[in-house]
A and B are shown apart, each in its own frame.
Chain A
Amino acid sequence: MHDFLLSIGYNYWILPTLLALPLVGALLVAFTGRRGEEGEDEVASGAARGPRVLATAVFALEFILSLGLWWAFDPSYEGWQQSFDRAWIPTWGIRFTLGLDGIALMMVLLTTFIMLLASYGSFTSIRRKARSYYALLLLLTTGMLGVFMALDLFLFYVMWEAMLIPMYFIVGIWGGERRIYASLKFFIYTMVGSLLMLVGIVYLGTHQPLTTVNGIVTSVPNFSYDAALNTAQFTQRGALWLFGAFFLAFAVKVPMFPLHTWLPDAHVEAPTAGSVVLASIMLKLGTFGFLRLAVPLFPTAAMQPAVRTAVLVLAVVGIVYGALVSLVQPDFKKLVAYSSVSHLGFVMLGIFALTVQSVQGALMVMINHGLSTGALFFLIGMIYERRHTRLIESYGGIARVVPMFAAMLTLVSLSSIGVPGTNGFVGEFLVLIGSFRTAPVLSLIATTSVIISAAYLLWAIQRILFNPLDKRENEHVSDLNRRELLLMAPLVAGIIWLGVYPAPVLRRMEVSAEKFVRQVESKSAVRTAARER
């Protein structure tokens, strides 16, 4: 397989293609089919069929193309792979540079996978303005993939902002009752952070050491990531400010306590696929930003004891706080939203604890959370389509009526709780065992969340699936149909596969994770637990 891919020059064209294909698809979808009338139910009338099938086909093609990366990627090579580099705006030193390392690889695969499922999962829940919706999904994909692939800071920023707009529209048009409030809140929160990041990026780009072109010293800015990593110069105070700017941008996205309040609202009001994309992918952009930009570019600032401890404490607070607040949510979607805050706290803990195990664990949590929480939101969406309520108290005892749904929900909940054998355990275990070496007390506090997460999820699914079937409206709920089963199958398979045999995934990310730890350690002279054996 590897050789076949090499023979078709896969490594050269794959990344630009992955970016361009959704754009082309968006254009096509926007002009496919018939535009629906005002108030028309496009699913029932069939007007939605063209756009949704075409969009899903594009996504499927995108996913299949991206699958090749699994084999084309060389797990033992430390540098950037599948790179693509073209001049873009030469006067400002901006280049269109793309490339992957182990971390970005898994994120790209996760993105194409989840987007395919998101598109397939929206078939019956998006009933008006279908064309626009699917086009927006495609545009969103380009933005997100661009963030993961970008190796030029300016390009990174452009892509970062580019994905806000489709998301804003998706939540704002097809969302729930308070969607305007939620989408506005989401947009402003993220924007404020990103603006600071822009300042930081501009500073980084313009404060490069003077470059020489043909022997003539020029002062063209250089926005290349490698340049920022290796040759950019700033004072220690400058580094601290810059780190702060990037930190704010990404901390909002993660979301870290106390900047997390946009998430419950956005999740609750977003349409199902919107929630899935938001949880599975967009939250990972924040942590990815930390892994790619904030920490490696400013290691001394990031690992300063005060800063590092503060971040670790906030992460653990997020873990426990998110879990406790989940316990008392009456709305199931909001419960899952707060649980996301809790899970992403694990990622931040893993990154800043700075051991190979904790970083790999953080990466695994990113992937696993994408799968499990995505699956949870899909399931919530399915039951919502039938009963039009997300309040837990509206249900009760429905396992008798919808056994397939009950089995899926139970399994996915167990994955979210982190039962060994499911994917959730691997990530959490690695994060905790890794961070125990450098921050034992915090790691211990974080481990208590395994108790709380069991409590809130089991209590929730008990009130939904078990207990007496006492409400008449629940007695005739239909079970999952063929499409929904087909949708859940790959997610369930992923949950079990990554729980039992995560080694291939770990192997592909290993070099990047080790490089991350090594570089940050050496540059910031942080002593993490070295063992004499």
Chain B
Amino acid sequence: MLLQHAATAGAHPLEGTVASYLWLLPLLPLLGFVLNGLLSLTSAFHLGPDDPGADHGHDSHAAAAHDESGGGAHGDDHHPVQRHRHAGLVSLIGPGVLIAAFGLALAIFMAMRGLGEMHAPFVQRYFSWMPVGDLVVDASFQLDQLSMVMVLIITGVGALIHLFSVGYMQDDPGYPRYFAYLNLFVFFMLVLVLGANYPILFIGWEGVGLCSYLLIGFWFSEKANADAGKKAFIVNRIGDFGFLIAMFMLFANLGRLDFAGVNATIGQLPFGGVVVTAICLFLFLGCAGKSAQIPLYVWLPDAMAGPTPVSALIHAATMVTAGVYLIARSNVLFSMAPVAGLTVVLIGGLTALFAASIGLKQWDIKKVLAYSTVSQLGYMFVGVGSGAYVAGVFHLMTHAFFKALLFLGSGSVIYAMHAAYHATHSHEDAQDMRNMGGMKKYMPITWVLMWGATLAIAGVPPFAGFFSKDEILGSVFLRATHSTLADARWLGIPGNYVLYLVYVMGLAAAFMTAVYMTRMMIYTFHGPNRTGDKEREHLREAPWIMTGPLVVLGVLSVIGGWFNIPAALPVGPIGALEHWLEPVVGESTLRVAGGTLPEASHSLEYLLIAVAIVIALAGIGFAFARLKPQRLVPKAQAPAEHGFGLVLENKYYVDEAYDAAVVQPVVGVSRGLLWRGVDVGLIDRLTRLLVQSKDDDAAPGAVPMGGWMTRAVGYLGSQLQSGRVGTYAWVLVVGVLFVLGAFSFR
């Protein structure tokens, strides 16, 4: 076969084990994509007539009846009701390949665990992708501890979400297409985390962006959904621009693009120099796009237009975490550029705070979670930016659990609300919290699980989020005194100030997180129900295919944090994740920390933990005290916001600002200046001097130049043909004299 293994000293210990089936991992979901895609096309597609140009009148039967979920047979644009013919088969294939992939991932994981220590990554080279001169880009996969963690999260949480989707999307006419896209997404995500070099990672990187585009705009008959998908892709592309430049710089300076090569040779560049810093900053631009950080986060809230399981998978658990993974993967580079690290930390902290503040005033339950995701991603970047790679990845993992749970849970709520509105043919907003309330009575299991996730995200022990968030904040605090970041300067500001500032921002954001999450819970599940009397009868718990995965995620949200318990709390496996990831990130962590890991005295640790818990509980308490769900009114009758609340509700008007400052000017300049001005006005006018243009659409008001130059020359020429003999004679004589003269003066 095409398999070639990396030339390490001796064969890699994983060779010959189940890990050699690494290539099967992404191939399974790809197979799912192909099968589901074919199923989706074959039933919707009808061959056209042989001569489409002839006048056939009504040649194709009313294809409009084939509602490819573009719009409802009931005029209900979100959930048209028409179960697909092949739904059963798709329900087997879609989640099936994911479960198989997860099984394989587990097996590989066990094989890795069985090895004990694994210092070198396991690389499989399949074929040469772009060999050009000294540029060598191979299609190869790399398996190490970091990618293993990611693979488990992707396939595990992914499988759960696939199962949930079976219930959530069951009546959608676009059912096979949905699973096709979802499978394709998992394929690309796996390529992303398994790639052994930056270009392969980039394939996955853009691929998940593509699937995000397809899935956000899944119900594309609504312009808003299609717009959201397009916005996501384009904003992502701005980030991709940064990623590309970083790759170019890597190649130009090091001549390598594979992780092993880059990590080995980056040391040749000066520490903290312009080149390394620039590379890291451009990489981070890519991360800002993919992982929705300031200033490129604007696509994520709009992305809520897609089906809720999509939001859970892509915009909570996996795709958005790609940026965090990228930095973790490039830890060697980032550890050599403290200024870049400070930038990442600063932007991460700012984003965490900024997004959390917006979440305080959102009414759409998914928007709350969207901004929450942006905020939590900020935390992850604070982690990896400050050199605490383990902390960042840890939070990535726990966040995947509880955020997926939150999204899926909200999906169950929305599902119930939709069912209720559908039964009464109401057109109210099924996602607005002002239309909810008191749902705990109708959906108790979901209620309990959602509280578990809320406590996790707020950072209350012993739930998962507490451990990961605490580790990040603690790491930042400690590195403020003891790291290369602290010693560096960010635009003149000493690094340690920046880090302390970020720590404070992190605490503030944690407080706000607790508040808005509790607010969400209160308005949705507590208090009186505002859905309407008739609708209320139809509110019930979601089917087990949906609630089952929720339970699993709930369990994980509780125990997920126990994978990396800090040393100060000897209640379980201390630092399991840290130990696991040590071969990948250990060295860089040390380098950032200035040679020795920052150790906190146990008393400092307890203090930090106490602060975190106090803030979390304060936030929850504040929310319970101040928010009165009884005073809420359904959305249709709700009063408008005012004051700063209005600013928050309108997300600081950032989208409007971008539109006015970037989009409109670009389009305007392109249309007015470049096209009309230069192309038509200037260049074409010049050419019309030469070309006759009778049937030309001249710009309004323009004088038709109509090839005057050609006609002028022609006119001059025609003067020679006067027909008058006398003139001819003159010319003859003059010519003769001329020739005679030329000859005599030779």
Contact = CB atoms under 8 A, between A and B. Distances in A.
A56 interface: no
A502 B217 CA distance: 31
A382 B52 CA distance: 8
B244 A447 contact: yes
Interface in A7-47: 41, 43-44
Contact of B64 (A327, A400, A483): A400
B693 A181 contact: yes
A420 B207 contact: yes
Nearest to A127: B53
A352 to B, nearest CB: 17
Given A399-B70, A401-B63, A450 B241 contact: yes
B451 interface: no
B132 A430 contact: yes
Contacts of A355: 133
Given A325-B670, A478-B49, A447 B68 contact: no
A360 B675 contact: no
Given A462-B227, A469-B64, A529-B252, A356 B132 contact: yes
A502 B130 contact: yes
A521 interface: no
Contacts of A329: 675
B251 A482 contact: no
A514 B245 contact: no
B67 interface: yes
A531 B255 contact: yes
A324 B674 contact: yes
Contact of B127 (A44, A450, A501): A501
A382 B50 CA distance: 12
B172 to A, nearest CB: 14
A484 B51 CA distance: 10
Contact of B54 (A43, A401, A447): A43
Interface string B197-210: 00100110111001
B55 to A, nearest CB: 9
Nearest to B244: A447
B1 interface: no
Nearest to A479: B48
B245 A447 contact: yes
Contacts of A468: 71, 221-223
Interface string A260-277: 011000000000000000
B675 A429 contact: no
Contact of A386 (B52, B202, B247): B52
A120 B707 CA distance: 39
Given A261-B679, A420-B206, A482-B50, A399 B62 contact: no
Given A189-B687, A462-B226, A407 B41 contact: yes
Interface in B227-264: 227, 229-230, 233-234, 237-238, 240-241, 244-245, 247-249, 251-252, 255
Contacts of B49: 478, 481
Given A189-B687, A400-B67, A328 B47 contact: no
Interface in B668-725: 669-671, 674-675, 678-679, 683-684, 687, 690-693, 695-697
B66 A400 contact: yes
Among A450, A451, A506, the most chain B Cβ lie within 10 Å of the Cβ of A451
B53 A469 contact: no
Nearest to A468: B221
B746 interface: no
Interface string A393-433: 00001011111100100000010000111000110011011
Contacts of B229: 462
A510 B128 CA distance: 14
A462 B251 CA distance: 36
Contacts of B669: 324
Contacts of B226: 462, 466-467
Contact of A414 (B64, B202, B210): B210
B129 interface: yes
A444 interface: yes
A436 B221 contact: no
B131 interface: yes
A180 interface: yes
B130 A506 contact: yes
A188 B45 CA distance: 46
Nearest to B173: A400
A355 B252 CA distance: 12
Contacts of A510: 132-133
Contacts of A432: 244, 248
A440 interface: yes
A242 B742 CA distance: 32
**Residue in B48, B134, B690 whose Cβ sees the most chain A Cβ within 10 Å:** B48
A181 B696 contact: yes
Contacts of B255: 531, 533
A500 B255 CA distance: 22
A68 to B, nearest CB: 25
A4 interface: no
Nearest to A126: B53
B48 to A, nearest CB: 4
Contacts of B696: 178, 181
A328 B667 contact: yes
B600 interface: no
A475 B64 contact: yes
Given A325-B670, A399-B220, A432-B244, A188 B690 contact: yes
A475 B135 CA distance: 50
Contacts of B68: 399-400, 403
A434 B244 CA distance: 12
Contacts of B203: 420-421
Given A325-B674, A466-B217, A479 B46 contact: yes
A506 B210 CA distance: 26
Contacts of B117: none
A469 B63 contact: no
Contacts of B60: 476-479
B59 interface: yes
A503 interface: yes
Contacts of A44: 51, 54
Nearest to B668: A328
Nearest to B248: A436
B556 to A, nearest CB: 32
A522 interface: no
A455 interface: yes
Contact of B247 (A262, A433, A451): A433
Contact of B210 (A401, A419, A483): A419
B337 to A, nearest CB: 19
Contacts of A430: 130, 132, 135
Contacts of A482: 47, 50
21 contacts: A178-B695, A189-B687, A258-B683, A261-B687, A324-B670, A327-B671, A328-B671, A329-B675, A385-B53, A397-B70, A436-B248, A436-B249, A444-B245, A450-B237, A462-B230, A477-B60, A481-B49, A482-B47, A501-B129, A503-B129, A510-B133
Given A458-B213, A466-B226, 9 more contacts: A124-B54, A321-B674, A321-B678, A327-B671, A357-B132, A400-B66, A404-B41, A503-B128, A510-B133
- 10 closest A-B pairs (Cβ-Cβ)? A356-B133, A478-B48, A466-B220, A436-B248, A466-B226, A328-B671, A478-B60, A400-B70, A481-B48, A420-B203
Interface of A: 41, 43-44, 124-125, 127, 178, 180-181, 184-185, 188-189, 258, 261-262, 321, 324-325, 327-329, 355-357, 360-361, 382, 385-386, 397, 399-404, 407, 414, 419-421, 425-426, 429-430, 432-434, 436-437, 440, 443-444, 447-448, 450-451, 454-455, 458-459, 462, 465-469, 475-485, 500-503, 506-507, 510, 514, 529, 531, 533
Interface of B: 41, 44-54, 58-60, 62-64, 66-68, 70-71, 127-135, 199, 202-203, 205-207, 210, 213, 217, 220-223, 226-227, 229-230, 233-234, 237-238, 240-241, 244-245, 247-249, 251-252, 255, 666-667, 669-671, 674-675, 678-679, 683-684, 687, 690-693, 695-697
